[in-house]
Chains A and B, each alone.
Chain A
Amino acid sequence: MGQGFAGRLVGSGAAHVVVIVLLIVGLPWLVPKPTEPQTISVEIVGDAGAPPPSTRPIPTPPKADKPPTPPKPRPKPPEPKPQPPEPKPPEAALAPKPAPDAVPPPPPKAKPKPKPKPKEPPKPDTEQEFGALLKNLAPDAAPGTRDSKGDNPSARAMDAGEMSALQAQLAQCWNVVAGARDAQTLAVEIEMTINADRTVAQAKIVDSARYGADPAFRAAADSAMRALRHPSCTPLDLPPEKYDAWKHITFVFDPKSLL
């Protein structure tokens, strides 16, 4: 009897396994959930679990600071890929217009960032803005790659090349507070939730107590934050098809080796 029962158990276990596999492969957004107990960043995982409503991680952006209201003065409608590597300040071009008048039209403040509400199209749009700066991104980011994949590439971890591309990108944006006393103790850890368009959705300095109490640490943490939000690092150099691998990242900005 023990044998038979055990057999059934195995069968049942296998069935569970199949279900689990299906869950993982078919519904990638569920995957992070198990993370909760495993990682430190309970809060972030929870946050991220909720908003992405569909199977695809694409439409997360609403989390950005602005309401998803369709920003009116759209720089340009979601154009196709052909990315004319515009200089840098595309906003600069249209900004002067709203500027001159004093009061009524504050809308320029409606940041173009949250606009990528739709989904795929915004990708090329952001690309255009920064294409000139982030040459590696353009090829990877071609929309559609995600859809065309049969397996769930979103669940794969970033490989070494992708990791070092991200590090290299941020190294350019991180302006180190040089010459600070005890620079070796100023490593800053930031837990970040990233939108599918590879912009910062939420960033949290882990050691918030020290941030409040230690001006040197606060300055170091601020400089790390500036790096993550720097125009040259927006969007972040991340493989678009591996969203699940990077939608939560813990960044450690460590100036130790720089002084």
Chain B
Amino acid sequence: MPGSTSPLSLIPKAFCSALCVVLCLLSAPAWAQTRVVISEGTMRPIPIAVAPFVAAPGQERLAQEVVQTITADLTGSGLFATVDPRAFLQDPASLAAQGPDFEQWRAVGAEALVTGQVDPAGRVAFRLWDVLGGQQLTGKVYAATAQNRRRVAHIAADVIYERLTGEAGYFDTRIVYVSETGPATRRVKRLAIMDQDGANGRTLTDGGAMVLTPRFSPNAQLIAYMSYETGQPQVFLYDLNTGRRELLGRFSGMTFAPRFAPDGRSVVMSLARAGNTDIYVMDLASRQPRRLTNEPSIETAPSFSPDGRFVTFESDRSGGQQIYVMPTAGGPAKRITFGQGRYATPVWSPRGDLIAFTRLYQGQFYLGVIKPDGSGERLITQAWHVEGPTWAPNGRRIAYFKERRAGQGARLYTIDITGHGERALSTPTGASDPAWSPPGSQR
């Protein structure tokens, strides 16, 4: 009987409302699931222990070198703090026989643990463990030889880095740079290349001509750079496979500040002609240049966005040196920096979210990052002279060169984009103008 107010229909209502009231009054707090938002945290390196790898007879050296290289990579990233092996409680034999005793690794402060072994054939197997959670996170096996053992270690370190940070690793990469020797008045500058950790370094050019601003091609086989080889600044290409170098286009003016497009098919660079500098894109197959900017001011230091659709560059068209972004296809440029001082050498991050730059303000150099829309500018390091930012391929770390004082000579450094963990890169000579290779460039 719909619509009637039978007493029976009151039962559930009365009961329910009484129930609700009572429960709300007496126990609501207890049965609302507590929700706790943690929005504060620390930013410290992840404590990780790299245990000695168990080596088959004859493989001890390889095992040791792999462990050392992994340890150095992780520490050098600034995102990990490796636990001093002298503090380890679980010995290698027990580790091999029983697996990790997580209590013991916890006791030495490790949150992650790397274990591994090298078998008689030289295969390197390693595992990454979550010490606090007591479980394996990942494990891999690689075939290592005397020649590639460092590379295997770098690849393993990449796996560890990636699993724990969520970003691709960058340890299996190289850095090309300008090696500097001799007194300041007669400085000799050569192209040089090394692994990202400073190992396997060698020079590529003989120092007969001054070279500047080397840049890797996306396949890491070509290096574009500026050289005075012809008497005036010109952009050259150096082939790492053959050692050959060639002039990139014959122009009546000076060409400089080259950078490859993300697809490797073109190079963007500056051309100074008749007292004016503008930006051109040179197609590598046809060697046909296309003019990108056409301003009476100086436009230089171009860099592509990782999708190739935009170019960022510096220009003094506003009266001061500032950073701009424009479509690669052409069109108006948008200014993205407005701070005091001069902004220079914008470099688009490989992951696209940031543009690194140098800024000169009140006699000090700063290295900073800014979002491509001009928001979120952050300065991450500062010195008497800091220049030449270049991104690690994961967009997480920046390499650059720095002179602490006048006449001290330039050295290479790397730093995390958060501004933490600055590290000096060891080079046999003074060094400037670093360029980080794409991933997997070690051959």
Cβ–Cβ < 8 Å partners of A95 in chain B: 89-90, 101, 103-104, 107
Asked if A259 and B132 make an inter-chain contact with CB atoms under 8 angstroms apart, the answer reads no
- Cα-based distance from A38 to B94 in the complex (angstroms): 49
Asked if B353 and A231 make an inter-chain contact with CB atoms under 8 angstroms apart, the answer reads no
Asked if B97 and A220 make an inter-chain contact with CB atoms under 8 angstroms apart, the answer reads no
Asked if A179 and B418 make an inter-chain contact with CB atoms under 8 angstroms apart, the answer reads yes
**B184 located at the interface, meaning its Cβ lies under 8 Å from any Cβ of chain A in the complex:** no
Within 8 A of A (CB), among B11-39: 11, 14-15, 18-19, 22-23, 26-27, 29-39
**B10 located at the interface, meaning its Cβ lies under 8 Å from any Cβ of chain A in the complex:** yes
Asked if A163 and B36 make an inter-chain contact with CB atoms under 8 angstroms apart, the answer reads yes
Is the contact region of chain B dominated by helix, strand, or loop, or is it mixed? mixed
Asked if B111 and A226 make an inter-chain contact with CB atoms under 8 angstroms apart, the answer reads yes
Asked if B27 and A24 make an inter-chain contact with CB atoms under 8 angstroms apart, the answer reads yes
Cβ–Cβ < 8 Å partners of A137 in chain B: none
**A202 located at the interface, meaning its Cβ lies under 8 Å from any Cβ of chain B in the complex:** no
Within 8 A of B (CB), among A143-196: 154-158, 163, 166-168, 170-172, 174-182
- Cα-based distance from A252 to B35 in the complex (angstroms): 7
Cβ–Cβ < 8 Å partners of B102 in chain A: 109
Cβ–Cβ < 8 Å partners of B111 in chain A: 175, 226, 230
**B395 located at the interface, meaning its Cβ lies under 8 Å from any Cβ of chain A in the complex:** yes
- Cα-based distance from A92 to B397 in the complex (angstroms): 36
Asked if A65 and B134 make an inter-chain contact with CB atoms under 8 angstroms apart, the answer reads yes
Of the candidate stretches B49-57, B158-166, B219-227, B315-323, the one touching chain A is B158-166
Asked if A108 and B103 make an inter-chain contact with CB atoms under 8 angstroms apart, the answer reads yes
Q: A155-B30, A179-B416 are in contact. Are A171 and B98 (CB under 8 A)?
A: no
The 8 Å CB contact of B38, one of A170, A219, A248, is A170
Asked if A35 and B34 make an inter-chain contact with CB atoms under 8 angstroms apart, the answer reads no
Within 8 A of B (CB), among A234-259: 244-246, 248-259
Asked if B34 and A246 make an inter-chain contact with CB atoms under 8 angstroms apart, the answer reads yes
Asked if B133 and A178 make an inter-chain contact with CB atoms under 8 angstroms apart, the answer reads no
User: Which among B33, B44, B94, B132 has the greatest number of chain A C-beta atoms within 10 A?
Assistant: B33
**Chain A count of residues within 8 A CB distance of the other chain:** 91
Q: A5-B7, A99-B90 are in contact. Are A254 and B37 (CB under 8 A)?
A: yes
Cβ–Cβ < 8 Å partners of B42 in chain A: 171-172, 174-176
Cβ–Cβ < 8 Å partners of B93 in chain A: 102
- Cα-based distance from A150 to B129 in the complex (angstroms): 47
Smallest Cβ distance from A99 to chain B, in angstroms? 6
User: Which among B11, B42, B420 has the greatest number of chain A C-beta atoms within 10 A?
Assistant: B42
User: Which among B15, B163, B166 has the greatest number of chain A C-beta atoms within 10 A?
Assistant: B166
- Cα-based distance from A106 to B95 in the complex (angstroms): 11
Q: A166-B36, A245-B34 are in contact. Are A6 and B7 (CB under 8 A)?
A: yes
Cβ–Cβ < 8 Å partners of A225 in chain B: 130, 132-133
- Cα-based distance from A103 to B99 in the complex (angstroms): 11
Asked if A155 and B101 make an inter-chain contact with CB atoms under 8 angstroms apart, the answer reads no
Nearest-CB residue, chain B, relative to A217:
B166
**B108 located at the interface, meaning its Cβ lies under 8 Å from any Cβ of chain A in the complex:** yes
- Cα-based distance from A98 to B163 in the complex (angstroms): 31
Cβ–Cβ < 8 Å partners of A259 in chain B: 418
Asked if B164 and A227 make an inter-chain contact with CB atoms under 8 angstroms apart, the answer reads no
Number of A-B residue pairs, CB cutoff 8 Å, is 217
Cβ–Cβ < 8 Å partners of A10 in chain B: 14
Smallest Cβ distance from A184 to chain B, in angstroms? 11
Asked if A245 and B35 make an inter-chain contact with CB atoms under 8 angstroms apart, the answer reads no
Asked if B166 and A96 make an inter-chain contact with CB atoms under 8 angstroms apart, the answer reads no
Within 8 A of A (CB), among B242-267: none
Cβ–Cβ < 8 Å partners of A5 in chain B: 7
**A83 located at the interface, meaning its Cβ lies under 8 Å from any Cβ of chain B in the complex:** no
Asked if B18 and A16 make an inter-chain contact with CB atoms under 8 angstroms apart, the answer reads yes
Q: A167-B40, A222-B164 are in contact. Are A179 and B104 (CB under 8 A)?
A: no
Cβ–Cβ < 8 Å partners of B22 in chain A: 17, 20-21
**A111 located at the interface, meaning its Cβ lies under 8 Å from any Cβ of chain B in the complex:** yes
Asked if A180 and B14 make an inter-chain contact with CB atoms under 8 angstroms apart, the answer reads no
Asked if B104 and A13 make an inter-chain contact with CB atoms under 8 angstroms apart, the answer reads no
The 8 Å CB contact of B166, one of A35, A220, A224, A251, is A220
**A34 located at the interface, meaning its Cβ lies under 8 Å from any Cβ of chain B in the complex:** yes
Asked if A103 and B19 make an inter-chain contact with CB atoms under 8 angstroms apart, the answer reads no
The 8 Å CB contact of B41, one of A2, A38, A174, A181, is A174
Q: A170-B38, A171-B41, A179-B418 are in contact. Are A16 and B15 (CB under 8 A)?
A: yes
Nearest-CB residue, chain B, relative to A231:
B106
**B127 located at the interface, meaning its Cβ lies under 8 Å from any Cβ of chain A in the complex:** no
User: Which among A166, A178, A225, A227 has the greatest number of chain B C-beta atoms within 10 A?
Assistant: A178
Q: A167-B40, A178-B43, A219-B165 are in contact. Are A103 and B97 (CB under 8 A)?
A: yes
- Cα-based distance from A46 to B22 in the complex (angstroms): 23
**A41 located at the interface, meaning its Cβ lies under 8 Å from any Cβ of chain B in the complex:** yes
Q: A175-B46, A229-B133, A258-B41 are in contact. Are A181 and B395 (CB under 8 A)?
A: yes
Cβ–Cβ < 8 Å partners of B335 in chain A: none
**A67 located at the interface, meaning its Cβ lies under 8 Å from any Cβ of chain B in the complex:** no
Asked if A245 and B30 make an inter-chain contact with CB atoms under 8 angstroms apart, the answer reads yes
Asked if B103 and A251 make an inter-chain contact with CB atoms under 8 angstroms apart, the answer reads no
- Cα-based distance from A178 to B43 in the complex (angstroms): 6
Cβ–Cβ < 8 Å partners of B130 in chain A: 222, 225-226
Nearest-CB residue, chain B, relative to A20:
B22
**A216 located at the interface, meaning its Cβ lies under 8 Å from any Cβ of chain B in the complex:** yes
Asked if A99 and B89 make an inter-chain contact with CB atoms under 8 angstroms apart, the answer reads yes
The 8 Å CB contact of B420, one of A34, A178, A250, is A178
A interface residues (Cβ-Cβ under 8 A, vs B)? 2, 5-6, 9-10, 13-14, 16-17, 20-21, 24-25, 28, 31-32, 34-35, 38-41, 65, 89, 91-92, 95-96, 98-103, 106, 108-109, 111-112, 154-158, 163, 166-168, 170-172, 174-182, 214-220, 222-227, 229-231, 244-246, 248-259
28 contacts between A and B (CB under 8 A): A2-B7, A13-B18, A17-B22, A21-B26, A24-B23, A24-B26, A92-B107, A95-B90, A95-B104, A100-B91, A109-B103, A156-B30, A157-B29, A157-B32, A171-B38, A172-B42, A174-B41, A176-B42, A222-B133, A222-B164, A223-B46, A225-B132, A226-B111, A226-B132, A230-B111, A245-B29, A251-B37, A255-B39
A166-B36, A251-B37, A252-B37 are known; give 7 further A-B pairs, CB within 8 A.
A39-B32, A95-B90, A98-B101, A171-B42, A175-B46, A180-B167, A215-B166
Shortest 7 CB-CB contacts between residues of A and residues of B: A219-B166, A157-B29, A216-B166, A174-B41, A171-B40, A155-B30, A92-B107
